[in-house]
Chain A
Amino acid sequence: MIWLGIETSNSPLSIAIVKDGQVLAEVVQNIKLTHSVTAMPTIEELLNKVNIKPADIDAIAVSEGPGSYTGIRIGVTLAKTLAWTLKKPLVGVSSLKVLAANAQLFNGVICTLFDARRQNVYAAAYNGMNLETIIEDRHDSIDAILVQLQQLNERVVFVGVDAANFKDQIVQYLGDNAFFAPFSLHLPRASKLIEIAENEPLLNAAEVHSFVPKYHRIAQAEANWVKEQKKGQQ
């Protein structure tokens, strides 16, 4: 079984090809180039390297968000177009879970978060041993997330570059229970994405058409519009 994994949910890029449970090739980079320029050429380069044709791919895994709106849309558009036109199954995985998988085997809780500005984050938490979800992906204030983590009263490791933006608050809430992963675990890996995807149900052709990013936040214009509608009803 040959998997192609595509991770473009934030500024790092990762592409991997996994065959029968082995990583054949993987790229992980963080060079702030737009994914539209780098993602597709990287997929082509990796497939050429391992001598696999597009039609030989058996399944495609993609990081479905949350993250940069444009970033996840590029990955999802590439993944769903490839899956649809090559008639292969597709699996979407939370980008927070992909990043959390870097710290798997940690004896405690793994928390991943992306800075959404103004003291807000996209965050989730997982059991360190088996990656079972403890806090579901959501957009919320950093304080609300930290209060919830504090109540667990467990060791929590933070993975990802953005945790540094909230280091003081994290230590304030969690004290000695707060741990920070080393920098080598900060970038998401498409091989981890595939590892998680292997245990998920495969989407069929109709589901590929309707597959969209999980933004975990409605667009600002839509939020304003909903607010106006409610005002009108009162």
Chain B
Amino acid sequence: MGELIMEECIILAIETSCDETAAAIIRNGNEIVSNVVASQIESQKRFGGVVPEIASRHHVEQITIVIEEALQRANMEPSDLTAVAVTEGPGLVGALLIGINAAKAFAFAHGLPIIGVHHIAGHIYANALVQPMQFPLLALVVSGGHTELVLMKEHGSFEVIGETRDDAAGEAYDKVARVLNMPYPGGPHIDRMAHETNEAVEFPRAWLEDSYDFSFSGLKSAVINYKHNMDQRGEEIIPEQVAKGFQDSVVEVLTTKTVRAAREFQVKQVIAAGGVSANKGLRTSLEQAFEAENIPFTVPPLKLCTDNAAMIGAAAAYMYNAGVRGDLSMNGLPGKELKSWIK
């Protein structure tokens, strides 16, 4: 199947689903003209996680500044744009609503169509900004809010073949980091610590046989219990070995299931997406596994793995070309399902 021929389009994309206020300008779904992200990490880390009300307040402070900067860096006027895209969900509803209402006001002011994008579709399409997508394609989406295996047979077609039944992988990382007294966000600390030792505390793997689903809450509890038992016995834990034991368990399960799915569906490309795909341990494991399988594996650069608006603009370009349009009554959909936009 050849690459889809895309109608020329320049999209202003906005993303505010969690704690990043982001705007980007994307040309033809594959070229980043500008990409601006204002992070709230400095503010949110006081609370050891993202507080929804604080996130919403920061978004209102930043939203027009971020959009203006995206336009200025692109050296563009609203009249240069083809459409406005915005993350419609899933995410924190109060946070989503800031991006959505800014997008609506902007689109209305300039008579532009508006397109509501699914956050996970955005994470997957971050890869379209790196290289053309090859179908059938398997995407492993791992972030603070999501752990999903998504099968795509063509552009705009999504089938969730596996997802977490409890905690998202990134959520488990943050919780384990807290047990080890690491600051928020804890994922990068665990990844770093895991690489500082060759010894690992043995933790269980949740295989959930005959399914591509995941579960990380048992693993998280095992880490908490381990720490608790050691404390009770008056013994010191070695944080690096706990981090490595935890990370080994997460990475092995994610890699094994992704490989199994790639084989079953005979995919031509495997991609990783979402904030946790920046994890060095996970990247290395997936790279090695798919090299052995002889299946092309790609993961976007770090700034496109974490939440950003460029990925929303990339997905929106394909939606625009498929004729998908939203309207001014768009609402924030905190539990929005990933659905195909083609029949």
Contacts and interface: CB of A to CB of B under 8 A. Distances in A.
Interface of A: 34, 36-41, 43-44, 54-55, 69-70, 73-74, 76-82, 84-86, 208-210, 212-213, 215, 219-222, 225
B331 A37 contact: yes
A61 B144 CA distance: 38
A73 B105 contact: no
Given A36-B331, A77-B63, A221 B101 contact: no
Contact of A222 (B54, B65, B68, B102): B54
Contacts of B327: 41
4 shortest A-B CB distances, which residue pairs? Answer: A81-B105, A221-B51, A40-B328, A77-B101
28 contacts: A34-B331, A36-B331, A36-B332, A37-B331, A39-B101, A40-B104, A40-B329, A44-B328, A55-B109, A69-B53, A69-B94, A70-B97, A73-B56, A73-B94, A73-B98, A76-B60, A77-B63, A82-B108, A85-B64, A210-B61, A212-B60, A213-B60, A220-B53, A221-B47, A221-B51, A221-B53, A225-B46, A225-B47
B105 A77 contact: yes
Interface string B10-54: 000000000000000000000000000000000000110001011
Nearest to B95: A73
Nearest to B111: A54
Nearest to A57: B109
B97 to A, nearest CB: 5
Contacts of A55: 109
Interface in B96-115: 97-98, 100-102, 104-106, 108-111
B325 interface: no
B97 A74 contact: yes
Contacts of A40: 101, 104-105, 108, 328-329
A193 B53 CA distance: 26
A84 B57 contact: no
A38 B100 CA distance: 13
Given A40-B329, A74-B97, A77-B101, A84 B108 contact: no
A36 B101 contact: yes
A138 B24 CA distance: 39
B78 interface: yes
A85 B108 CA distance: 10
A210 B63 CA distance: 10
Interface in B320-335: 327-332
B93 to A, nearest CB: 8
A220 B98 CA distance: 20
Contacts of B105: 40, 77-79, 81-82, 85
A41 B98 CA distance: 16
Nearest to B47: A221
Contacts of B63: 77, 80-81
Nearest to B96: A36
Nearest to A73: B60
A52 B53 CA distance: 36
A210 B330 CA distance: 25
Q: Which of A36, A38, A44, A74 has the most CB of B within 10 A?
A: A36
B109 A82 contact: yes
Contacts of B97: 36, 70, 73-74, 77
A12 B109 CA distance: 24
Given A36-B100, A40-B328, 8 more contacts: A37-B330, A41-B327, A70-B94, A85-B105, A209-B64, A209-B65, A215-B57, A222-B51
A126 B65 CA distance: 35
Contact of A77 (B53, B78, B93, B98): B98
B57 A219 contact: yes
A84 B104 contact: no
Interface in B226-270: none
Looking at B94, B97, B104, B110, the one whose CB has the most chain A CB atoms below 10 A away is B104
B90 to A, nearest CB: 16
B61 A41 contact: no
Contacts of A221: 47, 51, 53-54
Please indicate which of the listed interface residues B67, B100, B105, B106 has the most CB atoms of chain A within 10 Å of its own CB. B105
A39 B78 CA distance: 22
Contacts of B328: 40-41, 44
B98 A219 contact: no
Given A36-B101, A74-B97, A86 B61 contact: no
A77 B106 CA distance: 10
A38 B329 CA distance: 6
A84 B60 contact: no
Nearest to B94: A70
A70 B67 CA distance: 21
A11 to B, nearest CB: 15
